[in-house]
Structure 1
Amino acid sequence: MLLRNITLRDFGAYRGNQSLELSTSPGRPIVLIGGMNGCGKTTLLDALQLVLYGPRARCSGRGNRPYETYLRECINRQADPSTGAEIELEFSITVDGNERVYRVCRKWAASGKSLHEYVNVLVNGTWDRTISEGWADHVEDLLPLEIGSLFFFDGEKIESLADPERASAVIESAVHSLLGVNTVQQLRTDLLALQRRQKLTGEERETVVQIRELESRHDAIQHEVEAAHAKVAELRSRLDAAKVTLDNAEYSFQKDGGALYERRRELEAHRKDAAKALAADEEALANLAAGPLPLLLVGDQLTAVYKQATVEQQADESAQIIGVLANRDRDILDRLDALLSTADLNAFRAHLDGDRKERELAGSAERILALSPDGYGRLAGLDQVLTHEVQRAQELLAQAAEQASILATLDRQLAGVPDEKVIATRIAEREQSMRAVHRLEADLESALAVHATSKGRREALTAELERAHEARVKTLVRAEEVARIISYCDRQRAVLDKFGTALLARHINRLEVAVLDSFTKLMRKHGLIRGLRIDTSRYQLTLIGADGEPLDPGRLSAGERQLLAVSLVWGLARVAGNWLPSVIDTPLGRLDSRHREHLVDRYFPQASHQVLLLSTDEEIDERLLMRLRPSLAHTYTLVHDDTTFTTSVQPGYWWGTGASHVA
């Protein structure tokens, strides 16, 4: 059992919501809670018991007051009584190998003279109505009150366990409840009840035969169900181990380059595509180079050709229009002869003659290229063709560069692919692990189907058996059947008597060794106690002194008696397997410094998987805190406001009288 969190709302001196995280981890089992006297340490211990056991809780602050009166007084004085108070505890417990998380919320509020209390229980985050309504019985299955009181105790009051009479009652209760002896006694009681029922009920021979057959078949199918359940559990365990092996094989495979090896074909195909694309780009560039693109290498000559072609084209045009211009000029001069003066007409004639001479001069240019009219057009379009070819060449060069980069990257990746001989072992290990996992998964699925089938057959037989029992109407049991059952019950009760005696002796022997070992570890005086005996009939604890004679516990000091009581609780916890948390209020009262060190060094870190210490500043001081620090999971300080009479929970731990610093 592991306490996870407790939240108090307007409970006692705790005003508002005050929450403490209580989860611990291996090697750090201790939650240290500090507080001055009157700050609420005992109130916190009472809250743990109250939320679990309600009216049956053995709260130190209740006394002889009625339960409702106690609850009213537990509501914070500054809170509204109609709103009330609330305690919420979250804890986990393992049932059949599965962790089950409980969240128990106990709330109460006053309405006039009446008081209403509510208990809500969430299991794995889901409200459970049945458990909530029957929580008082359910908690006895999880943590019986008699057992819980042994592990939720006041360090100063626990000294009373050193008294032989008080210790006898505790030992008897613990041995029977905590160590399972009462289960044997309950079996004996059930057998006796069965005997008595058999004397009062019976059935005819035919009905008896039918029921016997059904019970035999039911027992057989019950064994099948249990065997199937065990097989499922075994396969789950083996499957979990196989998955771990597969994870390790997968990790080794990936570590040695398995991912690249698996992508090798993909990378090779990608490289092939990239190589093809690069070759296509290079071929396209070669085709471009076979066209007019190389003319760019003779750019100056090409420019001169353009100029010469332009000159020759203009010469051809001038030669073609010289005759037309001469006729036009004569016509114009004839028309202007009557309109202009002789001087103006001569000037205009001179201008026209000059223009014709210039055109005649241009038309007489040397014909080097001698292009046809179509040749001039094709030469004029060559520039546009070259511009387009240059743009296409640039695009192809960019594509080729990109494909070359991709090709280089793929070559590097392929170079990093491990050789098949190197990775073969990892591949074989992974494939073997995968086959094992798949095989176990199939086996588990088959086992689950068998388990479900067996359960279905068992349920059918159970229903048939119930119907057979319901058919027992107005029948009498035959004397020999009754005698047989009674005889078997007597024999089994005798066996259980012997088993119970042997089991009790075994547990008592283990408890003697554990308590003596615990007391020896905690005592400052070595050799004071040489032995320890527990009477199996009266459960009385007897100490054996150094002289071999019984030692009266009254001869021990108050601190030594407290250590003896702690040793008794510790020994019980060790024999029971340390499955319950220990909550200790005022853990070091009446102890000298040496004994305190022994408890801090030897008991608290090993008392249980979870230990809650409620300490004053003078018990766990700065020196002891340093010794305890490696085992601490959480530390808290209960801070009391004397003006409002309220307590709040602060993280960290103080030490030293009047000190305000936090550890």
Structure 2
Amino acid sequence: MLLRKIVLKDFGAYRGTQTLDLHTHPGKPIVLIGGLNGCGKTTLLDALQLVLYGPRARCSARGNRPYETYLRECINRKADPEEGSSLTLDFSITVEGEKRVYSVTRSWSVSGKSLRERVTVFIDGRWDQVVSAGWADHVEDLLPLEIGSLFFFDGEKIESLADPERASAVIRSAVDSLLGVNTVEQLRTDLQVLQRRKRLSEEDQAVIGQIRQLEARYQQADSEVQAAHGHAGELRVQLDKRLDELKQAEEAFAHEGGELFTQREALRQRRKDAAKHLASTQESLIGLAAGALPLQLLSEQLGAVRKQAAIEQQATESTQVLQTLVGRDQDILDRFGPLLSASDFEALRDYLETDRRQRELTGETERILGLSLDGYAQLAGLEQILANEQQRARELLDLASQQAAEVDALDRQLQGVPTEERIAARQAEQAEALQAVHHAEAVLANAIEAYEASKRRRAAAKAELDAAYERQAAKKFEAEENERINAHCERQRNLLERFKEALLKRHISRLEVAVLESFTRLMRKSGLVRDLRIDTDRGYQLTLTDESGDTVDPGRLSAGERQLLAVSLVWGLARVAGNWLPSVIDTPLGRLDSRHREHLVDRYFPHAGDQVLLLSTDEEIDERLFQRLRPSVAHTYTLVHDDTTFTTTVEPGYWWNSGAEHVA
């Protein structure tokens, strides 16, 4: 499990919305959160537990107050109670082999004298209504409270672990819950409860005969159901065989050209339609040939005709305009002659006469065609008509080619259609296979109906048996059966007891090695403790042995050494459990000298797990220790408290790297 983000909205001293990114990376497992005393470090630790466990959370600030009172007091004093407070925690966890991302929001608000609390859960970005409604039970499956509380440590809990006598209870709780021993004990308790429920009085023996008869009837009905189910299964296999045979017959029918045979009438109709369309296209081509289109063969002659027509049309126009020009020329000479000199007058008269003679010559051109005005117009439009007719002819020829190709293709398909005599045997095989399939389906349907009927009889027998059990509920159950159950439960309880002892011994051995190894790494006196034992027969008492084999009196340990021993217990438990939970430690260095602090900073915090949240004052992890810890830090934050408004805000960075939330 890895925490990803926590958002506090108007919670305790935290005013407004305060967000802490808790993502860590390989080699950088630490999120360092600094704050002076009274700035809200413990409040942040309480928020982590409250958002998960609600009324069962072991919050340090709650004390013996009712849960509703505690929630009211957690609303920031400057916030509107009707708006209330909320906590949101995002975390990832592996569930049934798949990584899932949870976002849990616990919010509450006050309306009059009542307080309303809501829990909303998103899984992989989708709201889950069922999990939201049953979060209190669901979180126990993900992270039981007894296990989770072991990894949320404040200074007070570390102090309690530092006392060997008080540590015994914590060790017992950790071993039982974190390492699964309590599960075995719960099984033994459940078996004992079952034994008590199964004890009968002598008067209950009279009903055993009746119940045994009903049980026998039910068993017989159940046997019939199983037999009918097996018979139906065999018939399904036979039906599958018939279907395979039908498929083979259909494939053989198709291989012989059966599909073409069944489609022969459709092919014939398609061939008839295609031939009809081809004939229609050919008729259209014949119609074009009967019109102006053949004139396209005389394109050169038509060109000569159009040229001659143009000459004749020009001659006609010249003849028509000649008489008009005679009057016009005389009028010009009369009007402008007096204004010209003799030479200019002669030149103008010669020009006009020459123009008239040329027009006379043009008008004398031989009229070979002798067309009328309409004839000239028709001759001019003939070229466009022939172009249109030629384009239409090309289109019809292309269409006729396609239609002829379609007719040829259909002819080839029709030639490939097998004869009725050739396909008859395959048709018979196909029909026989189809009939066999229908028969197998009918037989299977009858078998299924028989199976359903046997199930109904079994259900009736079961209902009668259940009714007999219910009628005798006040004075039953079967003595012989209960005696067997009691004997079996007793054997299993003894087996579980031995299993518990073996499991406990194995876990304790691993835990002793892990705690001793952790303590040795953290201590500056390497020879102070040589061996460490946890005595389960004496209430999980912790015993230390020095180099001489003598027991080390805890009183000989300094306060700092006892605190390191407590940290070693936490570290050892995490290592034995597989480091699958984050460690959240508040004021971790309170009673340690500088050398022990260095050991903790160098040897424990960077290796305590995949994620370690440290809540520290500036005197615990000072500038020197921060520089030593910095390579393993993923994020840093400082809790800044405003004494005038009594509110706390989260600022990125630590005291000696202000403004840098992410530490490179």
TM-score, normalization: structure 2? 0.62
- What's the counterpart of residue 4 of structure 1? 4
**What's the offset of the Cα at 1:2?**
2.5
- What's the counterpart of residue 186 of structure 1? 186
**What's the offset of the Cα at 1:69?**
4.1
Q: Deviations over 1:522-547 (max 9, x none)?
A: 12221211010000221101111122
- What's the counterpart of residue 118 of structure 2? 119
Contact kept, 8 Å, 1:102 with 1:121, in 2: the verdict is no
Q: Which has the larger radius of gyration?
A: 2
CA–CA separation in structure 2 for the residues paired with 1:155 and 1:588: 8
**What's the offset of the Cα at 1:635?**
2.0
Secondary structure at the counterpart of residue 536 of structure 2: coil
Contact kept, 8 Å, 2:121 with 2:131, in 1: the verdict is no
Structure 1 residues 535 and 207, CA, compared in 2 at 3 Å: closer, same or farther? same
Structure 1 residues 343 and 518, CA, compared in 2 at 3 Å: closer, same or farther? closer
- What's the counterpart of residue 198 of structure 1? 198
Structure 1 residues 475 and 320, CA, compared in 2 at 3 Å: closer, same or farther? same
Structure 1 residues 166 and 316, CA, compared in 2 at 3 Å: closer, same or farther? same
CA–CA separation in structure 2 for the residues paired with 1:485 and 1:543: 46
**What's the offset of the Cα at 1:168?**
0.7
CA–CA separation in structure 1 for the residues paired with 2:218 and 2:31: 55
**What's the offset of the Cα at 1:183?**
1.2
- What's the counterpart of residue 529 of structure 2? 529
Contact kept, 8 Å, 1:104 with 1:119, in 2: the verdict is no
CA–CA separation in structure 2 for the residues paired with 1:475 and 1:601: 68
Q: Deviations over 1:140-179 (max 9, x none)?
A: 3433333222211114640321222211101111111111
- What's the counterpart of residue 583 of structure 1? 584
Amino acid at match of 2:626: L
Please tell me whether residue 356 in structure 1 is matched to residue 334 in structure 2. Answer: no
CA–CA separation in structure 2 for the residues paired with 1:578 and 1:602: 16
- What's the counterpart of residue 452 of structure 2? none
CA–CA separation in structure 2 for the residues paired with 1:21 and 1:162: 32
CA–CA separation in structure 2 for the residues paired with 1:343 and 1:564: 145
Contact kept, 8 Å, 1:529 with 1:546, in 2: the verdict is yes
Contact kept, 8 Å, 1:32 with 1:635, in 2: the verdict is yes
- What's the counterpart of residue 611 of structure 2? 610
Structure 1 residues 26 and 49, CA, compared in 2 at 3 Å: closer, same or farther? same
- What's the counterpart of residue 56 of structure 1? 56
Q: Counterparts of 1:619-634 in structure 2 under 5 Å?
A: 619-634=620-635
**What's the offset of the Cα at 1:481?**
2.6
Structure 1 residues 214 and 614, CA, compared in 2 at 3 Å: closer, same or farther? farther
- What's the counterpart of residue 152 of structure 1? 152
Amino acid at match of 2:605: F
Q: Deviations over 1:235-274 (max 9, x none)?
A: xxxxxxxxxxxxxxxxxxxxxxxxxxxxxxxxxxxxxxxx
Structure 1 residue runs without a partner (length 5+): 219-311, 366-371, 382-455
Q: How many residues align?
A: 484
Amino acid at match of 1:567: S
User: How many percent of aligned residue pairs carry the same amino acid?
Assistant: 63
Please tell me whether residue 567 in structure 1 is matched to residue 571 in structure 2. Answer: no
- What's the counterpart of residue 80 of structure 2? 80
- What's the counterpart of residue 231 of structure 1? none
Q: Counterparts of 1:208-247 in structure 2 under 5 Å?
A: none
Amino acid at match of 1:559: G
- What's the counterpart of residue 484 of structure 1? 484
Secondary structure at the counterpart of residue 27 of structure 2: coil
Structure 1 residues 661 and 505, CA, compared in 2 at 3 Å: closer, same or farther? closer
Moved more, 116-125 or 501-510: 116-125
- What's the counterpart of residue 107 of structure 1? 107
Secondary structure at the counterpart of residue 199 of structure 1: coil
Q: Deviations over 1:544-603 (max 9, x none)?
A: 112211111221122211111011011111111122221111122222333323322322
Contact kept, 8 Å, 2:39 with 2:640, in 1: the verdict is yes
Q: Counterparts of 1:273-288 in structure 2 under 5 Å?
A: none
Amino acid at match of 1:533: R
CA–CA separation in structure 2 for the residues paired with 1:212 and 1:163: 64
CA–CA separation in structure 1 for the residues paired with 2:535 and 2:218: 47
Structure 2 residue runs without a partner (length 5+): 223-310, 363-368, 381-454
- What's the counterpart of residue 500 of structure 1? 500
CA–CA separation in structure 1 for the residues paired with 2:28 and 2:580: 16
Structure 1 residues 574 and 116, CA, compared in 2 at 3 Å: closer, same or farther? same
Q: Counterparts of 1:642-657 in structure 2 under 5 Å?
A: 642-655=643-656
CA–CA separation in structure 1 for the residues paired with 2:58 and 2:617: 22
Moved more, 565-574 or 609-618: 609-618
Secondary structure at the counterpart of residue 529 of structure 1: coil
**What's the offset of the Cα at 1:84?**
3.1
CA–CA separation in structure 1 for the residues paired with 2:328 and 2:147: 140
**What's the offset of the Cα at 1:26?**
3.5
Amino acid at match of 1:160: S
Contact kept, 8 Å, 2:653 with 2:660, in 1: the verdict is no
Secondary structure at the counterpart of residue 527 of structure 2: coil
Please tell me whether residue 173 in structure 1 is matched to residue 173 in structure 2. Answer: yes
Q: Deviations over 1:447-467 (max 9, x none)?
A: xxxxxxxxx9xxx99x98977
- What's the counterpart of residue 638 of structure 1? 639
Structure 1 residues 515 and 209, CA, compared in 2 at 3 Å: closer, same or farther? farther
CA–CA separation in structure 2 for the residues paired with 1:331 and 1:607: 125
Q: Deviations over 1:176-234 (max 9, x none)?
A: 1111111111111111111111114876256458769999x99xxxxxxxxxxxxxxxx
Amino acid at match of 2:182: N
**What's the offset of the Cα at 1:28?**
3.0
Secondary structure at the counterpart of residue 566 of structure 2: helix
CA–CA separation in structure 2 for the residues paired with 1:615 and 1:110: 33
TM-score, normalization: structure 1? 0.62
**What's the offset of the Cα at 1:325?**
7.2
CA–CA separation in structure 2 for the residues paired with 1:514 and 1:38: 35
CA–CA separation in structure 1 for the residues paired with 2:179 and 2:65: 33
